[in-house]
Amino acid sequence: MYSFTEENYLKAIYKLQEQSSEAINTNAIAISIQTKAASVTDMIKKLSEKKLLEYEKYKGVVLTELGKKVAIETVRKHRLWETFLHNKLNFTWDAVHDIAEQLEHIQSQELIDKLDDFLGFPSHDPHGDPIPGKNGEIKESNFVILSELMEGETGIISGVVNHSSLFLKHLESNELILGKRIMVEEVVAFDNSFQVKIEGKKILQLSNEVARNILVKKMK
């Protein structure tokens, strides 16, 4: 059994490793956890002693197989709880993250397995992030960012890159939510903004920044 803090560190390092093949440095972890570099150094020593990560001075850390297993289990619990809160208790998708941060540390494997079964073994959470299976397997998504679509192409909104509450509220206020069909009508050459049509009706003008943070499943 590991502490809340240890699990949070492992999860943060795991997510950073997903974005880079290099060892993760102390500063990157500190920014992700929102703490001081000195605190990260202390925790790295503890996690290294528990064989959860390997640390090389001046290079950074990588998770061991055990550390990766604990991190993926924590991610699985977090995303299952987000799905439960959103799908069954009607929490908005910008509200589920903070609550799931608390629930992800529940240790009962039986509870998590029953939760997975109750939800129908979902493959993705309310933000479109893949939910690891019981064996730790993560199915690859075939999503692309909206800004990669060409004029006339259509996709189904399936996730987001930016998980901030401010961004999610902005999307929801414009009906840009999961499952909505979105078609690119025009890409404006001046600023690379996008004119899109939602569900074949509502027309919106999206900045390139917004378009780069929406994931869609491209329709043929």
**Homologous superfamily in CATH for domain 144-218:** Ferrous iron transport protein A (FeoA) (2.30.30.90)
**Location of each CATH 1.10.10.10 domain in the chain:** 4-63
Alpha-carbon span 94 to 169, nearest angstrom: 7
Report the first-to-last Cα separation within the chain, whole angstroms: 47
Please report, for residues 12, 105, 109, 170, 189, the alpha-carbon distance to residue 81 in angstroms, rounded to integers and kept in the order given.
18, 11, 13, 23, 42
Please report, for residues 8, 9, 38, 160, the alpha-carbon distance to residue 34 in angstroms, rounded to integers and kept in the order given.
11, 11, 12, 22
**Location of each CATH 2.30.30.90 domain in the chain:** 144-218
pTM of the model: 0.85
Q: Does domain 4-63 bear CATH number 1.10.10.10?
A: yes
pLDDT digits (tens, 9 = 90+) for 129-178: 999 999 999 888 889 999 999 999 999 999 999 989 999 999 999 999 99
pLDDT digits (tens, 9 = 90+) for 80-124: 999 999 999 999 999 999 999 999 999 999 999 999 999 999 999
